[in-house]
């Protein structure tokens, strides 16, 4: 906590924060300072274990802190499609192409066909919804609990067979041919993982596929990094392989599990490049400390992703198994 706060306050600086955090995490220095956890961190862990911090009444307040910051901020940081998740850089040379390739990869992994109805849980600014509707002639329902995201997503998808709702996933009760969730599961909370999977199972047609794209942890956690939780993503925490497996056991069959980790580093560095390049266009909307806070967020995450501390996964799930076997797509 102090490391991040002192950087934002200008107590120290570094020419390459991403490299600093790559070395810190690669050397596993966090394991050598666990005994120094302060009372605030200990209290956060206890609250996460005892309370459900991601209940519906609190979720919208949490989302407002990050995703309602300003659409202009994200327009100046993200690619043209405004996709706020890890890109797919296998054949891409720039951020725009990496995100288009990722959106298309998702559609191909679920075998999307014209006329099918899909659900996008945590639809952001409508990038996947728009891509699926334009390129695959699909009908899309996208849900978010961010009013700012929904407003812009509706504008971007105007005239397409896309419905954008401000709706909590826990209120869903209808059928879809396929379901996708990209970069939202990190906000569900480990106490709600099983509930989330039960709802997806209930809403997915018997022969449908569910694709989950999420940042994870290599070991089971109940809270995020304390600084990140306080200033960037309140109450967020990605799942571990064990937590994810426990959540889906008896509900789904794992058809495919792809590691996107190395691509996340490159995506974060591209976001930081765009953020710094376009800062002058938006800086009047923020206090002086915001630039350093956002820089610390993007570059510390890039370094951590580079060291494999933050894996990113795309998992394809079916309810009964794909007849004849699922063909993995890369």
Q: Which of 77, 104, 82 is nearest to 270 (CA)?
A: 77
324 part of a folded domain: no
27 part of a folded domain: yes
In the chain, the number of structural domains is 1
Residue 64's domain comprises: 2-318
223 part of a folded domain: yes
Q: What is the CA radius of gyration of the chain?
A: 19
329 part of a folded domain: no
Q: For residue 117, count other CB atoms closer than 10 A to its CB.
A: 17
pLDDT at 28: 86
The pLDDT tens digits of the residues spanning 142-183 come to 999 999 999 999 999 999 999 999 999 999 999 999 999 999
pLDDT at 235: 77
**Each residue's pLDDT tens digit in the chain (330 positions)?**
899 999 999 999 999 999 999 999 999 887 777 655 555 555 455 554 555 555 555 545 555 556 556 899 999 999 999 999 999 999 999 999 999 999 999 999 999 999 999 999 999 999 999 999 999 999 999 999 999 999 999 999 999 999 999 999 999 999 999 999 999 999 999 899 999 999 999 999 999 999 999 999 999 886 678 898 889 988 788 999 999 999 999 999 999 999 988 899 999 999 999 999 999 999 999 988 999 999 999 999 999 999 998 899 999 999 999 999 999 999
Indicate which CATH number applies to the domain containing 277: 3.40.50.150
328 part of a folded domain: no
278 part of a folded domain: yes
Positions marked active-site: 301
The pLDDT tens digits of the residues spanning 67-104 come to 556 899 999 999 999 999 999 999 999 999 999 999 99
pLDDT at 70: 82
Q: In sequence order, which residues have a C-beta less than 8 Å from that of residue 198 and are 6 or more positions away?
A: 251
pLDDT at 40: 59
326 part of a folded domain: no
330 part of a folded domain: no
Question: What is the pTM (predicted TM-score) of this model?
Answer: 0.90
């Amino acid at each position: 906590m102090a490391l991040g706060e002192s950087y934002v306050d200008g107590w120290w600086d570094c020419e390459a924060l991403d490299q600093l955090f790559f070395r810190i995490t690669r050397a596993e220095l966090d394991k050598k300072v666990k005994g120094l956890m302060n009372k605030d961190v200990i209290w956060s862990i206890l609250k996460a274990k005892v309370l459900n911090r991601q209940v519906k009444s609190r979720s919208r307040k949490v989302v407002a802190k990050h995703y309602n910051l300003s659409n202009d901020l994200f327009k100046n940081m993200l690619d043209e499609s405004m996709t706020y998740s890890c890109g797919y850089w296998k054949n891409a040379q720039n951020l725009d192409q990496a995100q288009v390739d990722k959106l298309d990869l998702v559609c191909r992994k679920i075998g999307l066909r014209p006329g099918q109805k899909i659900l996008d849980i945590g639809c952001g600014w409508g990038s996947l919804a728009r891509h699926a509707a334009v390129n695959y002639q699909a009908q899309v329902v996208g849900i978010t609990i961010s009013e700012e995201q929904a407003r812009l997503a509706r504008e971007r998808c105007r005239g397409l067979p896309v419905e954008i709702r401000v709706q909590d996933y826990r209120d869903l009760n209808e059928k879809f041919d396929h379901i996708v969730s990209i970069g939202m599961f990190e906000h569900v909370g480990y106490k709600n993982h099983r509930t989330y999977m039960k709802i997806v199972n209930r809403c997915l047609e018997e022969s449908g596929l569910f694709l989950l794209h999420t940042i994870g942890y290599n070991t089971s956690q109940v809270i995020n990094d304390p600084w990140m939780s306080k200033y960037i993503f309140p109450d967020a925490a990605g799942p571990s392989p064990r937590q994810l497996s426990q959540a889906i056991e008896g509900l789904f069959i794992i058809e495919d599990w792809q590691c996107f980790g190395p691509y996340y580093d490159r995506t974060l560095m591209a976001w930081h490049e765009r953020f710094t390049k376009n800062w002058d266009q938006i800086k009047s909307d923020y206090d002086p400390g915001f630039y350093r806070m956002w820089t610390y967020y993007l570059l510390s995450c890039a370094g951590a992703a580079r060291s494999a501390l933050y894996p990113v996964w795309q998992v394809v799930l079916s309810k009964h198994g794909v007849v004849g076997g699922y063909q993995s797509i890369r």
